[in-house]
Structure 1
Amino acid sequence: MSRQRIFAGNRLKQLRTDRAIKQAEFAAHLGISTSYLSQIEHDDRPLTPALLDRLQRLFPLEWEEVAAEAGDRRAGALREAAADPLFAASPLPPEQLERAALQQPQLADQFVALHAAYRRAGQRLQIIDEALTGGTAEGSRLPWEEVRDWFHDAGNYVDSIDRAAEALAGQLRGKEPSPAIETIERRLRDALGISIVYSQTQALRDFDATMRHLVIDPSQPAESRRFQLAHQLAALALAGEIAAVVEASPLRTPAARQLLHVGLANYAAGAVLMPYAPFRASARAVRHDIDRLRMQYGVSFEQACHRLSTLQRPGARGIPMFFCRVDMAGNITKRHSATRLQFARFGGACPLWIVHEAAAIPDRILFQLAETPDGLRYVSMAKGLVKPSGSYARSPRRYAVALGCEAQYAGDFVYADGVDVAAPQAATRIGLSCRICPRDDCDQRAFPPSDRPILVDPDRRDVVPYRIG
């Protein structure tokens, strides 16, 4: 059985042109001769497995589609598993991985499955951490925990709702990138018979389904008012799609199902205001500059960050991002990761993570290059935000959001400009949670790890009053 040869000359040349790289420079970057590159660009030569692997590592977004079109999913999964820092001491050559995927498909699938089990074993420590710090066992999760984990297991992408919301946005936005607030109001009034009043109440949004009456608190920022209108529109216009997803979910309690319904309506609202295809294209064009995206689409900083973490549509994925929101006490109140980074399920995150500093310094973007105990590096930005309450009697909400990706995508993450992501001492060595962090030399440790003994020497005092066995 022979492998399909991959010709992608036009794609390669377009990539080089888009990045304004000369042919000789691009060839040197790929480790081939200029004449060989020219032959590939004219489709006189196919891409070799080694060259395809190099292109996918250097330009992961552009070459994801090439791999999918070539039917290379097994080989791609095998390459991803073999790229784990666990195997860094003796990496497998790309040609060998290609042959394994082609000639030994069952062995390749078992290797990928074994690696996935290894990753899940690490996540089991987080469940132990959950039981220790949250006082709950896996079988007794609270409704909001069930819903949070449902979105995590779904990859924070819900295809049926995302596509329906994108179609709805297409009817409303015309030539604009995002539907205007007046257009959303008009659709609610004319098509759905909803009366809308702006009046300050205790609720940000209050809908009377019987009277078909919607009250919006006008003290909210403009982007928040628009989001509340989009939520109500999505909840009504996409009621069938949302109900089908809720019905198919494994959630056990009525409260969890209701929370999922609300969460899906919020998801749909974000997809209406930031429709998938144009938003993904815009994000790539501005290299994920949040301020430019939020101004272009009329959304808040947090809304734009959250939407970027959902761009995981098969065949048209965005950069795999992690996103979280942290309050002033260090609690993670929102979290999602499409990367290999997993957040602590309860309580605070690593104190060395830049998001904690951002919470104390509102309205300023901070950057961090971080390395987790498994050797993976991540580039991330964090920003402290303040949401006004509209009244002196109510304290404003203060928190920080963080967004990041693996360091291999740094070239498409504007916040990483000017940073040498490979410099040995450049990264901050972070963990996930002190109870599951294996580092034995961290001055910021708050608790000993739950799976290792501690050694106490009464005659010696370091920053931490014990050593890890």
Structure 2
Amino acid sequence: MTKRPRIFAGPQLRKLRTARGLQQNDLAQSLGISSSYLSQLEHDDRPLTPNLSERLATLFPIDWQDFAVDETERLAHALREAVGDPVFGDQMPPDRLVKLAEQQPEFARRFIDLHEIYRRTSQRLEVVDEAISVDSSIGARLPWEEVRDWFHISNNYVDLLDKSAEKLAESMLDEHDHVSGAAMRGHLKDRYGVDVVLEQSETLRRFDNEQKRLHINAGQSPSGIRFQVAYHLVTCSLSDAITDIASAAQLRTDTARELLKVGLANYAAGAFLMPYERFRKAAREFRHDIDRISLIFRTSFEQTCHRLSSLQRETSSGLPVFFCRVDMAGNITKRHSATQLQFARYGGACPLWIVHEAVAIPDRILVQLAEMPDGMRYVSMAKGLVKTSGRFDKNPRRYAVALGCEAKHSDDFVYADSIGTGSDDETTPIGVSCRICPRISCDQRAYPPSDQVISIDHYKRSVVPYDLEEPPRPI
């Protein structure tokens, strides 16, 4: 048996500690070791043990992934994520995972791949089950639902488009590392002979192919105008990639395929305006403070939130977050989750979720610590937004966006600073939707869950006109 090489990570440890503003005593206490031991680690006098590496990955899951000390450690970390799935029950000790990654690397890789296939297959089965349960007489999803599910199954990350858009942006950066509006307009003019015209109009964007003019509604915000120009730019520059991806997608109709092209172009425009690595670095530096990141990339609050939910590049993923947009009626019009939290595919979301309150309070950030029925806690930020119509006789669009992460990542999420993530008193119990929520005592329930029995008592009235009884479990 080949002896496992010793792993020294002194510079990485010092960099991590310095970036977090920690003293040696603080980090040593978190790791459960002495300050002198940590000093030896930082000076490469002693190697990392599997247990310490595991502890660092647990304490700093976002930062530590950048310090890939060797292939064995990377493989052991991926194994830890896979076997951490609740389906496997108890966790395996870190040293056993390292030994498996070291002695059976090919098996470890195949196990990780198999778990990923299992996860994606489960998502597909959920999609099919939901589609059938909603309307068994139709038994098929609408085109926009197919596209929504395509992005969901793709984990909201399209590698080819993301890297191509990043490369395109890098070719147009100015001396301040920004892609200016002038650079985008110049690129369209020089490469494709397209002039950009700002004007008052009923549409956000309209392209006259004969005149080679891109008409942009000047009533939009500056970030909205930039996005519309970027959209046309990527449809010109990345049209082949967009077409190839849409053609290969397993969609039932041409309508769904054309809708997917629109979604892919929107994705590419976001990736162009917020290039992956620069955006990921800024997000981590400012602890995912949306306002500060938006100023850097000259993007809107919503665009920035949406981009954060797409940082799923395999070798350098971002903070695992969930993102959604909710309108005044409670409809979820955008959604993605890189966490265990999943949104209701049909029907309204939990009324206790703070995003509903945010719709009615524009331009104010609300923060909530929520606990799901499975016990998982999430820090959720929501902000109500108003998009003006640019005219008095047309109502503006009002909605709210929400962004959140698991409570264990609260150190990387600036919004968690305003709440106590360990306090039960500040925790709001929520569910996915009333249809599948198991919380029997909730007085905000709109209708009973589908798997529980209703009990009627004519001599008693609670907030809801029935009691719930859990169905008997099969023996």
Asked if these proteins are the same fold (TM beyond 0.5), I'd say yes
Cα deviation 1:263-317 (Å, max 9, x = unaligned): 1111111111111111111111111111111111111100011111111112111
1:434 maps to a residue whose letter is C
**Pairing of 1:53-64 with structure 2 (within 5 A):** 53-64=54-65
Q: Is the 8 A contact 2:373 2:430 kept in 1?
A: yes
Q: 2:328 aligns to what?
A: 328
Q: Is the 8 A contact 2:72 2:102 kept in 1?
A: no
1:201 aligns with 2:238: no
Cα deviation 1:307-347 (Å, max 9, x = unaligned): 11111112111101111000011000000111111111122
Q: 2:410 aligns to what?
A: 410
Measure, in 2, the Cα distance between the counterparts of 1:118 and 1:228.
35
1:384 aligns with 2:375: no
Q: 2:316 aligns to what?
A: 316
The alpha-carbon deviation at position 92 of structure 1 amounts to 4.5
Q: Is the 8 A contact 2:322 2:405 kept in 1?
A: yes
> What SS does the corresponding residue of 1:261 show, helix, strand or coil?
helix
1:253 aligns with 2:253: yes
**Pairing of 1:244-283 with structure 2 (within 5 A):** 244-283=244-283
The alpha-carbon deviation at position 115 of structure 1 amounts to 10
1:326 maps to a residue whose letter is V
Q: 1:34 aligns to what?
A: 35
Seq. identity, %: 53
Measure, in 2, the Cα distance between the counterparts of 1:83 and 1:138.
38
Q: 2:469 aligns to what?
A: 468
Q: 1:19 aligns to what?
A: 20
238 and 150 in structure 1: CA distance in 2 versus 1, 3 angstrom threshold: same
Number of positions where the alignment pairs a residue of Structure 1 with one of Structure 2: 467
> What SS does the corresponding residue of 2:435 show, helix, strand or coil?
helix
The alpha-carbon deviation at position 125 of structure 1 amounts to 6.5
Measure, in 2, the Cα distance between the counterparts of 1:114 and 1:421.
30
**Pairing of 1:6-405 with structure 2 (within 5 A):** 6-66=7-67, 69-72=70-73, 75-83=76-84, 92-99=92-99, 128=129, 131-132=132-133, 134-135=134-135, 140-405=140-405
117 and 264 in structure 1: CA distance in 2 versus 1, 3 angstrom threshold: closer
Measure, in 2, the Cα distance between the counterparts of 1:139 and 1:177.
50
354 and 72 in structure 1: CA distance in 2 versus 1, 3 angstrom threshold: same
Q: What is the CA RMSD across the aligned residues, in angstroms? A: 2.7
Measure, in 2, the Cα distance between the counterparts of 1:26 and 1:248.
49
> What SS does the corresponding residue of 2:281 show, helix, strand or coil?
helix
Q: Is the 8 A contact 1:235 1:265 kept in 2?
A: yes
The alpha-carbon deviation at position 452 of structure 1 amounts to 2.8
Gapped regions of structure 2 (runs ≥ 5):
471-475
Measure, in 2, the Cα distance between the counterparts of 1:313 and 1:33.
36
Cα deviation 1:4-26 (Å, max 9, x = unaligned): 43321110111112222111221
> What SS does the corresponding residue of 1:172 show, helix, strand or coil?
coil
Structure with greater contact order relative to length (CA < 8 Å, sep ≥ 6): 1
The alpha-carbon deviation at position 61 of structure 1 amounts to 0.9
303 and 138 in structure 1: CA distance in 2 versus 1, 3 angstrom threshold: farther
> What SS does the corresponding residue of 1:442 show, helix, strand or coil?
coil
Measure, in 2, the Cα distance between the counterparts of 1:136 and 1:64.
45
Q: TM-score, normalised by structure 2?
A: 0.90
Gapped regions of structure 1 (runs ≥ 5):
none
Q: 1:457 aligns to what?
A: 457
Measure, in 1, the Cα distance between the counterparts of 2:103 and 2:171.
49
Q: 2:473 aligns to what?
A: none
1:268 maps to a residue whose letter is A
The alpha-carbon deviation at position 40 of structure 1 amounts to 1.3
60 and 136 in structure 1: CA distance in 2 versus 1, 3 angstrom threshold: farther
The alpha-carbon deviation at position 167 of structure 1 amounts to 1.2
Measure, in 1, the Cα distance between the counterparts of 2:358 and 2:257.
34
Q: Is the 8 A contact 2:155 2:310 kept in 1?
A: yes
> What SS does the corresponding residue of 1:71 show, helix, strand or coil?
helix
Q: Is the 8 A contact 2:120 2:153 kept in 1?
A: no
